[in-house]
Amino acid sequence: MSPIIALFKRDLILAYHNRAELMQPMMFFMLVISLFPLAVGPNAATLKIIGPGVIWVAAILSSLLGLERLFRDDFQDGSLEQMILSTTPLPAIALVKVATHWLTSILPLICLSPLLAVFLHLNEAMYWALLVTLLLGTPLLSLIGAIAVALTVGLNRGGVLLALLLVPIFIPLLIFATSAVDAAAMELPYTAQLAFIAAMLLFAFALAPFAIAYALKVSQN
Amino acid sequence: MWKWLHPYAKPERSYQLCQTLLPWFAVLGGLSLFVGTMWGLAFAPADYQQGDAFRIIYIHVPSAILSKSLYCTMAIAAFVGLVWQVKTAFMAMVAVAPVGAMVTFVSLITGAAWGKPMWGTWWEWDARMTSQLILLFLFVGVMSLYKSFEDAQQGGKAAGVMAMVGIINLPIIHYSVEWWNSLHQGATILKMGKPSMAPDMLWPLLLCIVSWVLVSSAIFLLRLQNEIVRREIKRPWVVELALQNSKQQAPNNMSTDRG
Amino acid sequence: MHFASMNEFVAMGGYGLYVWLSFGLGLLSVAILWLSSWSTKKRLFKQVLREQVRQQRIQQAKQQPVKP
């Protein structure tokens, strides 16, 4: 069995064992979004305007929460060191870890999004736009986030630092994604925004694995 | 050129170079900052549209120009450090970051103070101010990442990676913010058109820009020295330097200290 | 000189608050960063000296035979 596939399976199994911890970002996502109607009032028109932005901000925040555990366990029990020393190229390993992390902790958030769209009174066109932007945008979150996670994995308290490092970098994604949903709300085409997100995703896909690999080596010193 | 440059990769030589350059930059920078600011404030003619409020340009434009170029400087230093494993480059990167953050902060507050009389609001979510704010966040991120490592070498490398990620993102952020801005609000903002400036106004501006470059280079050199000393604190040359310094300043301090 | 009197200079044609606020805060930030960097330099050298004195003390203590 190829080591890449073995790693993939191992990470999936580990994630299955840690179900409770995986639920936390999801619960956070739900809670943040249900806070907004309580804060700004239940007016459907207002909620419809702020809805896409709220969902995206909540998605960024909860993915930051979930990202922290991307390399943490492997770093603490020493298996990360083994991976760095192994003959399998480190960027490939990093990519597999990011992919499993996306599958196990971000995909559930996306599955939850129809419910939240109902909460925030999004119409159907807006919901489809939101779903597509989430599907294209969250892998980008994971890929770029993994660089910062790899850098801060050796630090004891990386949580706030991670947000400080990553939030400014996620701003373009937030802008394009919310404007795509806004365009959908006005029944305008939003392929341009999607193309931008896809371009950023491909770019990150090409470069991020190498940056993650270097960052892991720095952290492991 | 490499042969000539290479000795400066050694911390001790870089420290000496900083020491020779520092007084020049500090004195010339302080002098030109004073002259330029006074020229701009008191002697340049007032703008026919904006009156005397336009004088904020003499601090706003130099700091705004410097903020982006200092981020580029930081990223170039990070790149040199990451690719050629030059230790001094990482130290330079770490030394630039606070200067860049300060300059960005100054450009933000002066922009706000200019915006209030001209646009009627302290803060406008216009493209340039927003991307400047994000730039400040990027600087602060690099600084705090470096600070949170105990090992300066490791911290320098980590901050270097983050600076590189930031510089790749900077144009994307810039254009996305500009695009977002044009989407969300029409061209309501009073665009500061750029008519060719009268020479009476332009000369002090150029002097101010030069003086800001000199002053921030002086602060950078000082911080670079600090960074070098901090990392080499146990080396004999640092100890010798400290002894020399203390002898120069207070010849009889040491004898009383020992008592 | 563009201004006729000191009062006019301070008033800045009615924009005094904004002009002086931006110049004041801007130059203040430069001064603060410069002074803090300078004091860091002083502190580092003091630290080196203290460490040096401590090392010498340790050396002396090692050379002196322990008295019963």
What is the spatial distance between Cα A186 and Cα A199, in angstroms, rounded to a whole number?
24
Domains in chain B, number? 1
Chains B, C in contact: 3+ Cβ pairs under 8 A?
A: yes
- For residue A168, what are the contacts with CB-CB under 8 A and spacing of at least 6? B134, B137, B138, B141, B166, B169, B173
**Residue B181 falls inside a structural domain:** yes
What dihedral angle (degrees, nearest 10) is formed by the CA atoms of B140, A71, A68, B80? 10
Instruction: Write down the ipTM of this complex.
Output: 0.88
**Residue B75 falls inside a structural domain:** yes
Q: Which residue of C has its CA nearest to B225?
A: C41
pLDDT of residue B130: 87
Q: Provide mean pLDDT across the span B143-152.
A: 90
pLDDT of residue B35: 94
Interface-testing mutation among C10, C43, C45, with chain B (most B C-beta atoms within 10 A): C45
Asked if C29's CB is within 8 angstroms of B102's CB, the reply is yes
Q: Are B102 and B136 in contact (CB under 8 A)?
A: no
**Residue B1 falls inside a structural domain:** no
Q: Check pLDDT > 60 for residue B194.
A: no
pLDDT of residue A160: 84
User: Which residue is it, tokens 């549209």?
Assistant: B49
Q: Provide mean pLDDT across the span B143-166.
A: 91
C10 has a chain B CB within 8 A of its CB: no
pLDDT of residue B257: 45
Cβ-based contacts of C23 with chain B (< 8 Å):
37, 41, 56, 59
Q: Which residue of C has its CA nearest to B255?
A: C53
Q: Check pLDDT > 80 for residue C28.
A: yes
A80 has a chain B CB within 8 A of its CB: no
**Residue B112 falls inside a structural domain:** yes
DSSP state letters, A127-141: HHHHHHHHHHHHHHH
A213 has a chain B CB within 8 A of its CB: no
- For residue C31, what are the contacts with CB-CB under 8 A and spacing of at least 6? none
Rg from Cα positions in chain C: 27
Q: Are A174 and B177 in contact (CB under 8 A)?
A: no
What is the spatial distance between Cα A126 and Cα A135, in angstroms, rounded to a whole number?
14
Q: Are C23 and B41 in contact (CB under 8 A)?
A: yes
Give the H/E segment covering residue B154: helix B152-184
**Residue B253 falls inside a structural domain:** no
C-alpha distance from B1 to closest chain C C-alpha (Å)? 31
**Residue B135 falls inside a structural domain:** yes
Q: Provide mean pLDDT across the span A56-77.
A: 87
pLDDT in tens, A74-131: 888 888 888 888 888 899 999 999 999 999 888 988 888 888 888 888 888 888 999 9
Give percent of chain A with pLDDT exceeding 70: 99
Average pLDDT score over chain B: 85
Q: Check pLDDT > 80 for residue B259.
A: no
**Residue B179 falls inside a structural domain:** yes
pLDDT in tens, B112-140: 998 888 888 888 887 788 889 999 999 99
Confidence of residue B254 (pLDDT cuts 50, 70, 90): very low
Q: What is this structure's pTM?
A: 0.89
Asked if C37's CB is within 8 angstroms of B226's CB, the reply is yes
pLDDT in tens, B163-178: 999 998 888 888 888 8
pLDDT of residue B188: 42
pLDDT in tens, A186-221: 888 888 899 999 999 999 999 999 999 999 999 887
Question: What is the extent of the structural domain holding B76?
Answer: 12-187+198-243
Of C1, C26, C53, the CB nearest to B43: C1
Of B140, B169, B177, the CB nearest to A175: B177
What is the spatial distance between Cα B216 and Cα B96, in angstroms, rounded to a whole number?
9
Give percent of chain B with pLDDT exceeding 70: 86
Cα separations in angstroms, A139 against A92, A197, B189: 16, 10, 36
